[in-house]
Amino acid sequence: MKTSDIQKKASGPGAGRPGRLYQSGDSAGAKGLGIDARRASSLRSARFLAILIFVGAAIAALGGLVLMDPEGYGLGSAPGTGILQTAGTSASAPAFSSLFGYRVVLDGQGLYRRDSVSAAAQERAQDLVTLVFGLPLLAAGFFLSGRDGRSGRGMSGDLGAYGGRLLLSGGLGYFMYCYGMMAVGTTYNEFFLLYVALFAMSLYGLVLSVYAIDADRLASICERRYPRRSAISLCVAVALFLGLAWLGRILQPLIAGDGAPGDIDAASTLFVQAFDLGILVPAAALSAFWLIRRDPRGYIAGSVLLVKGAAEGLAVAAMGFNMLRVGVTESLPMILCFLALALCAIIIGARAIASAGLGVGRQARMYDGTKLSTKKGSI
């Protein structure tokens, strides 16, 4: 027995107890397996939440598009569930004056009957994009992330798992953003608790799914194929576009002393701008900074932002077109800018996800820190 081994046994955690010699390599290996086990557990939890989110979001989106009863959908028949009308308004176009003195015409139909015509048009467009793009995106992330373990369960993880996890995280990011704003921005309706539940599940699902990704290992796998420059350019463009657009709308009337911006509509504050300026703009800037420095965290943050941005960009563009359809004034160049950013995010995001791999079998490789190995041998 080596002297160093005797010293480790005498001074280590196992001192004074029978058993095999304590070695630093054993500790590192056990620690690594423990981290992998926690990541696997987090992924399972995130995928379970994704199932609940899928069902809940499908109900919420379909309800927003299909339910059109102007009297609401309360469990009872208590008065006050329909539209409150002020003197001089008609049942077909109820209206009121907002806190800032703007005349607001209510939609008067279905879940969004108490929202303005503009807000209801945006919410229904969001519901449509959620059904045709958001839910398939979440389902793809769920199934692809489930490929983890088919070639090395509980070990280092495979390429298919990383692509799937990134896709799952981006999808959860979209639903967190979507239903976070629905919970605080949509006028109270029968689905309020559903919006809150979807927001909460998406938030914790996003945290769990991101924790399930080993940033260093991901960077080692996808660094050469990752569209780093394109991702940096898009992140910078998103941060500048949203930052300048929203600050311009806020500061112009503030400096002129004209009160609140005209597009505040029936709301009491600018909740969309609060979300974008407080979350999305800093996230885009930080992702670009990390990618410029080749920080492994940038590959996670940038990919999640690209996937989430693709879905949300399509939703915002759809909102703008739907507003124009119902006669609400909106800037067509602004709508087209959101659509262009969304299309760029789709293209660059697809390349980013593909760089982490989406296949099993032939393309499923294991990373052991020194080389990539396949079932057919080492490369």
Beta bridge partners, 372, equal 367
Give 13's Cβ-side CA count (13 Å radius).
Answer: 4
Q: Whose CA is closest to 174, among 196, 205, 197, 143?
A: 205
To which residue do tokens 């009957």 refer?
113
Looking at residue 100, its pLDDT comes to: 73
Residue 18 has a pLDDT of 42
Separation between Cα atoms, residue 212 and residue 377, nearest integer Å? 27
3-state SS class at 158: strand
pLDDT of residue 93: 63
Task: Say how far apart CA 377 and CA 374 lie, in whole Å.
Answer: 5
pLDDT of residue 27: 53
Question: Distance from first CA to last CA of the chain, Å, rounded?
Answer: 38
> How high is the pLDDT of residue 70?
67
Residue count (the chain): 379
Six-digit token string for 272: 């969309």
Which two three-digit tokens encode residue 319? 């909102």
Q: Please choose, from the candidates 131, 118, 117, the residue with its C-alpha nearest in 3D space to the C-alpha of residue 57.
A: 131
Residue type at position 147: R
Contacts (Cβ under 8 Å, ≥6 apart) of 364: 147, 150, 151, 158, 159, 160, 357, 374, 375
CA dihedral of residues 136, 140, 143, 144 (deg, nearest 10): 180
Query: Residue 174's pLDDT is what?
Result: 97
| Cβ neighbours, 10 Å, residue 205 | 27
Residue that is written with structure tokens 């399509």 in the block: 314
pLDDT at 228: 94
Q: Which residues contact 356 (CB under 8 A, 6 or more apart)?
A: 159, 162, 163, 166, 218, 221, 222, 303
61 and 178 in contact (C-beta within 8 Å)? no
Give the integer Cα–Cα distance in Å for 342 and 34.
39
Q: Work out the angle at residue 237's Cα, subtended by the Cα atoms of residues 231 and 240, and round it to the nearest 5 degrees.
A: 140
List the chain pLDDT tens, one digit each, 379 residues. 444 454 444 444 444 444 443 344 455 555 556 888 898 899 999 999 999 999 999 999 999 999 877 666 554 444 444 444 433 334 456 877 777 777 888 888 889 999 989 999 999 999 999 999 999 999 999 999 887 544 434 334 444 458 999 999 999 999 999 999 999 999 999 999 999 999 999 999 999 999 999 999 999 888 889 999 999 999 999 999 999 999 988 888 888 877 777 777 777 888 899 999 999 999 999 999 999 999 999 999 999 999 999 999 999 999 999 999 988 888 899 999 999 999 999 999 999 999 987 754 434 443 333 343 333 333 3
DSSP string, 193-238: HHHHHHHHHHHHHHHHHHHTS-HHHHHHHHTTTS-HHHHHHHHHHH
pTM: 0.81
Cβ(247)–Cβ(75) below 8 Å: no
Dist. CA 363–CA 147, nearest whole Å: 12
Question: What pLDDT is recorded for position 33?
Answer: 62
What are the domain boundaries of the chain? 31-76+118-378
